[in-house]
Structure 1
Amino acid sequence: MALKQSDIDICLVNDKPNKKFLFIVSSILRKNNYENIITLSHTRIPLIKLFDPEYNINIDLCLNNLLAIENSKLIKSYSSIDPRFQVLYMLIKAWAKAKEINDAADESLSSYSYANLVIFYLQTCTPPVLPCLHKNTESLPKRTVENSVVAFHQDPKALGFVTKNTLTVGELFYDFLCFYSTFDFKRYAICINKGHMVELKNCQKELLVAPACIYIQDPFIFDFNPGKSMTEKNFTKLLTEINKTIYIISNGIKDYGFDQIFSEPSLLSLSSNVKQHNLTLILDNNDGAMDNNNNIDNSNINNNEKLDKKKN
């Protein structure tokens, strides 16, 4: 679930974790020709940021962040339920990167936060596309990871959930934007472990200690808000970009062009692929939309060679 320019997150597990060990790892990396090495030992999750010149990719290496592994497993489980989730998430991620609102370090939202937003929307739309994997877990073994109880359905088939939602990815993309353009962020929190609207007053008090524009309750650490990185300025920018995109789609993509939605040149190949996934169908009275609902080829998202062949 990565774009062509995405970085890699690596979790190094060590039985004797300490900050000194982090600097030892940094030293080893420098001796092995990695570049731009920055050791962040005082962040919530200590990590090393580096660049691999051989593969031309940025890497975030953290130490013993075991819950991050559980988060990845959770998102993978949701991906296995309906292929539209993965494509929609990548669309939203590409869109957010193009609008420069997909970087927690730059006081906007992380990709993990956007994953929560997409999952929550797909849980609460009508009819829902995704179930809540944290429900009905009484019979599942409980595991404690970093003082948090971890229990969710890693085999979604056990839930017996079958979606009745037949919207295309393009229609879901548009509806996602509409959903959050009217979402009452001052009243409700994003909680994928609940799968429904939860008023802030009913959330854990610890989650609300730090004022935030968006409250996203982490599915495992209930008092942690991944969305707290977003400033008021970038929150306003997020809503502005959402409404701009809604306007462009509503008034005809053919008139404005896909580059107005995915404005970065590096993302234009992705936006062309989006067109193949029927984003334009919401403008064409949905002619044939349902016929294409189950024919999403996720492999084309990052495969420019295949995309070029299809164009020709």
Structure 2
Amino acid sequence: MALLMRATAKKYQIITNIYLKLTSNEHNYVYLSTVFKQSSIYLSCHGMHTRNSHTKITDDNQTSKLLNTTFGNIKAENQSLASTFDNFLNNRRKEATKTIIVEVQSSDSCNDLYSYCSSYGPIHLMHHYTVDKNHFFLVEFKNIESRKALMTAATHIHHQDIIPVQSQMFSFRNIAGQKKTKKIQLSSSDLANIHVPTINKPTVEKMSSALMNHTNDITKQMEILYDMWKLDDIGTRLRFFTAHQMENSFTSLFPNNIVLPFGSSVNGFGKKGCDLDLVMNLDNNIMEKQGSRLVFRTKSIVSDQRSQTKKTMELLSFIMQTFIPGISNVIRILKARVPIIKYDHLLTGLECDFSMTNMTAVYMSELLYIYGESCEFVRPLVFTIRQWASSVNITGVGTPGTTISNFQITLLVLFYLQQKKILPSINVLKSLSRPEDVRISETCDCTFLRNVSLFPIMKNKNNETLESLLTDFFVYYSTFDFSTKAISLRDGISLYKPNTDNLYICNPLEKALNVSKNVHATEVVRFIEAVRNAAELINEGNEKDSRGLLDIFAEKQPRKKITFFNKSFKRVNVADLFDDKINDEHKNNMTNEDIKKERIRKSFTLKF
């Protein structure tokens, strides 16, 4: 039996089918579990069964239904056992259900709007923000009933000229002859939850000025960079509100649908102004009710799941463009490996990528999130290195091409921290996983320990600083053999490459896939040259005119070649790590486009 399962491509679908059969009859499960107890599928089936038999499903916890189970309908009653990421998603999604967005004339409308909205129920907080010089307030009530009462009192105007949809987005108007709502006296606690004016993205001048105040302390500069650029509360709220709008728009047809943000918006590495990635699951509850005699009438899907997904997304895109307020510039990219719909949201100021049935991406976001939660060094280090990569044009701008991406840079940093014994490998996390940690996506097993408080204690992190970690990152990849070695976060070690891809970073959840397959050989050489240069610059930090991170971001040329120590404590001159013949050959093979790109890079001016 076990051999048969391992030889089957659809192993995880089979596991689920067996589980459904077993749980249809309690006696059958108890009897058959003795047969399967020694097989490779026993743990998965047993984990699903035991959790299902001791849980209560409620309609208020759809996120946990989706994330705390293989296919989305089991929730652990004890919240202390739930993963950190699950709790984060649940809390943010609940906030979105109690939230409205209101366009106003200016930030001066704050008190008037607060007074009006308060007449329908207590307000938890208000955030002011702008999109293209238009002013908005995000208002969260303390309970969902207040938000519903306000929506009941709202109205449409110019009925003959509009499509009369209802949403949680409004305009705040003045009515001639009608007195404004009487202003109420705000308490100190109320004032603390009203955020005006907007805190916009920091400017280059403001960032440079802040960093220049600490040129002799790179650790402090890294902390400042992280604090100024990390995704803030209003940015996170707008992302979950946008997801909730999509979910709510299709609830009548798909009452069990769920729309989740993934990627930078939720993995803890999001930067102010980053795009929003969304994934929709049309049916969050696929368990059949064995005792029910009533069966919903439905339509059959087309020949295969991928074709059905493309057809569904095409229809959804027309609905989004025609009926849903705020959505514009809808672009369908349905022939991609993962079909997506790109669109702009005019009322939240977000550029969005919408996909379906891509839960592996959500679990990837969760993995990155818990790595970031497990150690205070992770996020500031990733932010700094990603900013450096952008500043020296290592990471490309726009659509993915032959350059290294932010996601790949993040994986390089996490792998480096595994070598420093600061982060555990994914295999270690899987070995420590509990039954409630079992997750199986459409394509792979995504099981790993999800409770950060249970992570193994990593001894080395107490002996490090952000500056030392940044320096060692550049030195580590200056000596790394990209020509023969692959990077594997699952194993926590480098492996020999299975093919000739220029850069091989194993997909953390699907080890057989290379997430950096697109990267061109010249980009790998440029990355190695850039980390060498950065390593030399950061070691010149004691020079009188050193600006710390600003020199690294501007790719200032070092005065001298610095000798470092590698992992084996053997003296290494960074300049000797690169074969001049290889560099000469690289330059000779550069196309006109490569030369143009190189000139732009050399004439680089600081950017954020």
TM-score normalised by the chain length of structure 1:
0.73
* Equivalent residue number for residue 238 of structure 1: 527
Deviation at 1:62? 1.8
* Equivalent residue number for residue 130 of structure 1: 423
Q: Which runs of 5+ in 2 are unaligned?
A: 1-268, 284-300, 302-307, 556-608
Structure 1 stretch displaced more, 49-58 or 88-97: 49-58
Higher relative contact order (CA 8 A, sep 6+): 1
Contact 2:426 2:508 in 1 (8 A): no
Structure 1 stretch displaced more, 158-167 or 78-87: 158-167
Alpha-carbon separation, structure 2, partners of 1:27 and 1:254: 60
Contact 1:52 1:58 in 2 (8 A): yes
**Percent identity at matched positions?**
25
Q: Which runs of 5+ in 1 are unaligned?
A: 202-207, 265-312
Map Cα deviations across residues 203-250 of structure 1 (whole Å, 9 max, x no partner).
Answer: xxxxx3xx4211111121122111112112222222222222222212
1:91 aligned to which of 384, 397, 406: 384
What residue identity is the alignment partner of 2:402? E
* Equivalent residue number for residue 279 of structure 2: 11
Structure 1 stretch displaced more, 15-24 or 66-75: 15-24
Contact 2:360 2:443 in 1 (8 A): no
Structure 1 stretch displaced more, 189-198 or 162-171: 162-171
* Equivalent residue number for residue 513 of structure 2: 224
* Cα pair distance change 1:172/1:63, threshold 3 Å: same
2:413 aligned to which of 118, 123, 129: 118
* Cα pair distance change 1:129/1:144, threshold 3 Å: same
Contact 2:326 2:347 in 1 (8 A): no
1:2 aligned to which of 266, 270, 276: 270
SS of corresponding position for 1:2: coil
* Cα pair distance change 1:38/1:255, threshold 3 Å: farther
* Equivalent residue number for residue 285 of structure 1: none
Alpha-carbon separation, structure 2, partners of 1:28 and 1:234: 41
Map Cα deviations across residues 259-297 of structure 1 (whole Å, 9 max, x no partner).
Answer: 343349xxxxxxxxxxxxxxxxxxxxxxxxxxxxxxxxx
Are residue 158 (structure 1) and residue 454 (structure 2) matched?
yes
Alpha-carbon separation, structure 1, partners of 2:337 and 2:525: 26
* Equivalent residue number for residue 312 of structure 2: 21
Are residue 140 (structure 1) and residue 434 (structure 2) matched?
yes
- In the alignment of these two chains, the number of paired residues is 254
* Equivalent residue number for residue 55 of structure 1: 348
* Equivalent residue number for residue 278 of structure 1: none
Contact 1:190 1:215 in 2 (8 A): yes
After superposition, residues 201-220 of structure 1 pair within 5 angstroms as 201=498, 208=499, 211-220=500-509
* Equivalent residue number for residue 279 of structure 1: none
Alpha-carbon separation, structure 1, partners of 2:482 and 2:350: 35
Alpha-carbon separation, structure 2, partners of 1:140 and 1:113: 29
Deviation at 1:171? 1.6
> Computing the radius of gyration over CA atoms, which structure comes out larger, 1 or 2?
2
* Cα pair distance change 1:72/1:174, threshold 3 Å: same
* Equivalent residue number for residue 281 of structure 1: none
1:190 aligned to which of 474, 487, 498: 487
After superposition, residues 238-277 of structure 1 pair within 5 angstroms as 238-252=527-541, 255=545, 257=547, 258-263=549-554
What is the Cα-based RMSD across aligned positions, in Å?
2.4
